[in-house]
Amino acid sequence: MTEIMQYNENNYRDYEQYRGFAVIRFYARWCAPCMQNYAVFEQLTTMFGQHIKFGTVNVDQAPILTLRYNVYGLPSTLIFQDGVVIQRIAGVKTLAEYMQIFKQLGL
- Which residues make beta-bridge pairs with 78? 24, 88
Mean pLDDT of the chain: 95
pLDDT score at 47: 94
Chain segment 35-69, per-residue pLDDT in tens:
999 999 999 999 998 899 999 999 999 999 999 99
Number of Cβ within 10 Å of residue 83's Cβ equals 13
CATH number at residue 71: 3.40.30.10
Q: Domain range for residue 99?
A: 5-104
* Number of domains the chain is built from: 1
**Maximum pairwise Cα distance, the chain:** 33
Q: Is the pLDDT of residue 1 over 80?
A: no
Read off the pLDDT of each residue in 69-73 and give the average, rounded to a whole number: 96
Does the bond joining 75 to the residue before it have cis omega, within 30 degrees of 0?
yes
Q: 3 falls in which pLDDT band (50, 70, 90)?
A: confident
